[in-house]
Structure 1
Amino acid sequence: MSSNTSLDIWLAGAFAAFTVDLLVYPLDTLKTRLQSQDYAKLYRNVDGSTKRSLFRGLYQGVGSIILITIPSSGAFFTTYEALKYTLNEAVPPNSSLYLPQPAIHAAASGGAELVSCAILTPAEVLKQNAQMLNSSGRGSTSLQVLKTFRSQPSRLFRGYTALAARNLPFTALQFPVFESLKNYFMARRKAKKGGEPVDGILERATITAYSAGIAGSGAAWITTPIDVVKTRIMLAAGSGEDASTKPDAKSKPTSLLMHGIQGSGRKSGFTVAREVLKAEGVRGLFRGALLRGCWTALGSGLYLGCYEGGRFYLESTRKGNNEGDHLMQRDWSNVKVGVGGSRSQDQVKKSAWQDE
């Protein structure tokens, strides 16, 4: 059984989020731009070739997402491990209730996502709108976008439902497959080592990484239509327009913001999906699927690989420190204290932590 504390899990999750965000953020920016309603207008030339502006400012908005994903990822893994442990305790032989392991992993990851999305949504809205800014401007793109929400800060949470609707099925698909693959590869590796446990930090992280990469890429491909809808809704939140409000013909949108759905800030996800399907067909709902599948394979592999490596490192360090405590290692069962025939001269009983 793991000897990790909640702080260990939180730190490992935060470290994993920070590492992955820095490495794969440019791919996420490209995915957002590909899924934008204005992709063809902003990033394609008349002859169909791609404009260079598609590849500019690929780290726009990274500051806000890093600041928030650190606590949100820590909250995710802390909740996930706690729910997984609680649900495992509720199945035989501890209870008459039977739950298959895939159902336990899906339920635990789903509950963890609801907590994580509540923390992540405002940063996700800022990030996706910052990714669509004209990078010729100076200063922080996140702060420039944040100014557009000053009058209605509640719009920062407008994409929570869409974000949760994407992440819940994604994690429900990814984590059962990931846990199964990890256990399978761990068992194979253990058999090759003659039954010895896989206790190398790099080895465990590597097995976790490619298990997560395989599971994540498949889940990402399947949930791409929901991701397209989520992107459009979050970009619309930055326009400051509502579906019930008619835009002023004389007003001009800011030269920095590139709106995802003009005047559709309060449209439901189903309405946005129907509009995308009607205007662009099934291909429009799967726009960016290949890129998303590739960067999710890379991102999930790094994310969960770093998490597993960090968690196991902290666990190994904690065990090493405990084993290094000579006072705790010493057998006190035969030690006698006091003088004469006092009661304290009896043998000291073994503590609960000592082996029988």
Structure 2
Amino acid sequence: MNGQQKIDDGASQCPRQISSDPLSVESLVQRHENRLFLLQRLNGLRQQIQSLEQEVSDIECMVNSLPYAPAGMAYGHGRRAAPCHFHVAATAGAGGIALPLAVGIVHPLDTVRTTMQAAASTHGFSHSLRSLGWRGLSRGFVLSLAWASPQGAIRMASYEASKEVLLDKFYFKALGIAVSAITADFASSVVKVPRELITQRMQTGQYQSSWQAVRSIFREEGIAGFFRGYASTASRDAPFMLLLFLSYEQFKSWKIRLTFSQQGPAEIFAPWSDAETVLWGGISGTLAAWLTTPFDVIKTRIMTSQTPISFHDALRSVGPAGLFRGAGPRSAWWFCVSSIFFASYERLRATLQQHVDPV
């Protein structure tokens, strides 16, 4: 009965036919009434759109906790979704553990890549591997792990905090993610640049120990020496982090849409498998690494040079043919790093959340 009444009311409120004389008083009144009616309908549509946008925002807020939920917060019919936001201590702690874990496992591959890019002549993967030997592959291992922990903590805490604020500020969510990724990279660069500089000099055999490297760099160049190549590093890592996080977040979005279309809305919050996170994280890292290899080659040349050189000098010494030198090992390295990192980070973040903010 109520439904029929609404239909009748809607029919009675439809725009009326305008009389044949457009200049008559009746015609002008009808035009005015029709205009008011259309404005009212338009306002109703705007309210519906705002309501739908709010529902989408609420879903995205809950999806922020995917792919893993804290224990006791399993998803499904009749169960609560995970909390919208993770505590900064959980994100920082997870990043501080996941990054050194990922970097440490594939450190030998990074050493080969650095050796290839720093060489004055073109050396292939097998030649660089033979020249290093088993002991050479572990150069800079301890220092890289030790410094990767604060780097990962600062990066992920900054990224999640920035994203939480900026996603509500930008109409295009991808723009908020991009700005958050670049912000996180610059925040962590205070640790990242000295770490890479010392590690790469040890990987190329310039120093035998981290203490010798720190003492020598400080004596010869001062504090500024630890940040040599900062501009080239930023030019590489800003687009790299943008591509990495944009592609990873996009894979998560595709997963949600696919699950929604095939299994229904009740299943979009189902925990993801480790294999999915490993695959998506690895592909994201590979894509970002391959496209930013030219910047990485130039950065490596600047950092490993015996004397300070400019960006232009490094570019000229490499030449067009050398811009993608080491792209294969670098992409493989980042596939391993990203797959291990994101899988570990998501698990650790969910686990730590239970301790810093019990639910």
Structure 2 residues without counterparts, runs of 5 or longer:
1-61, 63-83
**How far is 1:50 from its partner?**
6.0
Aligned in 2, Cα 1:270/1:205: closer, same or farther, shift over 3 Å?
Answer: farther
**How far is 1:7 from its partner?**
0.5
Aligned in 2, Cα 1:50/1:164: closer, same or farther, shift over 3 Å?
Answer: closer
Aligned residues: 272
Sequence identity (%): 29
Rounded Cα–Cα distance in structure 2 between residues aligned with 1:49 and 1:27: 13
Q: Specify which structure has the higher proportion of helix.
A: 2
Aligned in 2, Cα 1:49/1:72: closer, same or farther, shift over 3 Å?
Answer: closer
**Does 2:205 align with 1:133?**
yes
**How far is 1:55 from its partner?**
3.4
Q: Which residue of 2 aligns with 1:142?
A: 210
1:274 to 288, 312, 316: 316
Deviations 1:106-151 (A, max 9, x none): 11100110111122111111100000117xx9xx622232232131
Q: Which residue of 1 aligns with 2:267?
A: 196
For the 8 Å contact 1:205–1:309, the answer to whether it is kept is: no
Q: Which residue of 2 aligns with 1:303?
A: 341
**Does 2:323 align with 1:285?**
yes
For the 8 Å contact 1:30–1:55, the answer to whether it is kept is: no
1:53 to 107, 131, 136: 131
State the AA in 2 paired with 1:215: S
1:6 to 88, 104, 114: 88
State the AA in 2 paired with 1:55: G
**Does 2:141 align with 1:70?**
no
Rounded Cα–Cα distance in structure 1 between residues aligned with 2:133 and 2:324: 21
Q: How does 1:121-200 map to 2 (within 5 A)?
A: 121-133=193-205, 141-151=209-219, 152-153=221-222, 154-189=224-259, 195-200=266-271
Rounded Cα–Cα distance in structure 2 between residues aligned with 1:142 and 1:292: 23
Aligned in 2, Cα 1:28/1:20: closer, same or farther, shift over 3 Å?
Answer: same
**How far is 1:51 from its partner?**
7.0
Rounded Cα–Cα distance in structure 1 between residues aligned with 2:269 and 2:246: 21
For the 8 Å contact 2:193–2:230, the answer to whether it is kept is: yes
Q: Which residue of 1 aligns with 2:72?
A: none
Rounded Cα–Cα distance in structure 1 between residues aligned with 2:203 and 2:110: 9
For the 8 Å contact 1:182–1:207, the answer to whether it is kept is: no
Which entry has the higher C-alpha Rg, 1 or 2? 2
Rounded Cα–Cα distance in structure 1 between residues aligned with 2:244 and 2:155: 14
Rounded Cα–Cα distance in structure 2 between residues aligned with 1:218 and 1:158: 27
**Does 2:184 align with 1:104?**
no
For the 8 Å contact 2:218–2:226, the answer to whether it is kept is: no
Rounded Cα–Cα distance in structure 1 between residues aligned with 2:104 and 2:127: 29
State the superposition RMSD in angstroms: 2.5
State the AA in 2 paired with 1:315: Q
For the 8 Å contact 2:281–2:342, the answer to whether it is kept is: yes
Q: Which residue of 2 aligns with 1:84?
A: 163
Q: Which residue of 2 aligns with 1:20?
A: 102
Rounded Cα–Cα distance in structure 2 between residues aligned with 1:235 and 1:55: 20
SS of aligned partner of 1:29? helix
**Does 2:287 align with 1:218?**
yes
For the 8 Å contact 2:283–2:335, the answer to whether it is kept is: yes
Deviations 1:260-301 (A, max 9, x none): xxxxx1x32133112311xxxx33111000111111111111
Aligned in 2, Cα 1:204/1:186: closer, same or farther, shift over 3 Å?
Answer: farther
Rounded Cα–Cα distance in structure 1 between residues aligned with 2:218 and 2:286: 37
For the 8 Å contact 2:90–2:356, the answer to whether it is kept is: no
For the 8 Å contact 1:20–1:302, the answer to whether it is kept is: yes
Structure 1 residues without counterparts, runs of 5 or longer:
92-97, 242-264, 323-356
Rounded Cα–Cα distance in structure 2 between residues aligned with 1:55 and 1:190: 51
**How far is 1:187 from its partner?**
4.1
**How far is 1:306 from its partner?**
1.0
For the 8 Å contact 1:101–1:176, the answer to whether it is kept is: no
Rounded Cα–Cα distance in structure 1 between residues aligned with 2:351 and 2:268: 15
Rounded Cα–Cα distance in structure 2 between residues aligned with 1:50 and 1:22: 20
**How far is 1:191 from its partner?**
5.9
**How far is 1:199 from its partner?**
4.7
State the AA in 1 paired with 2:312: F
Rounded Cα–Cα distance in structure 1 between residues aligned with 2:350 and 2:199: 31
State the AA in 1 paired with 2:230: Y
SS of aligned partner of 1:149? helix
Deviations 1:151-178 (A, max 9, x none): 1232111122121111001111221111
Rounded Cα–Cα distance in structure 2 between residues aligned with 1:219 and 1:183: 18
TM-score (structure 1 length as normaliser): 0.70
For the 8 Å contact 2:290–2:331, the answer to whether it is kept is: yes
Rounded Cα–Cα distance in structure 2 between residues aligned with 1:32 and 1:147: 22
For the 8 Å contact 1:186–1:207, the answer to whether it is kept is: no
Q: Which residue of 2 aligns with 1:234?
A: 303
Rounded Cα–Cα distance in structure 2 between residues aligned with 1:212 and 1:177: 9
Aligned in 2, Cα 1:197/1:317: closer, same or farther, shift over 3 Å?
Answer: farther
For the 8 Å contact 2:259–2:267, the answer to whether it is kept is: no
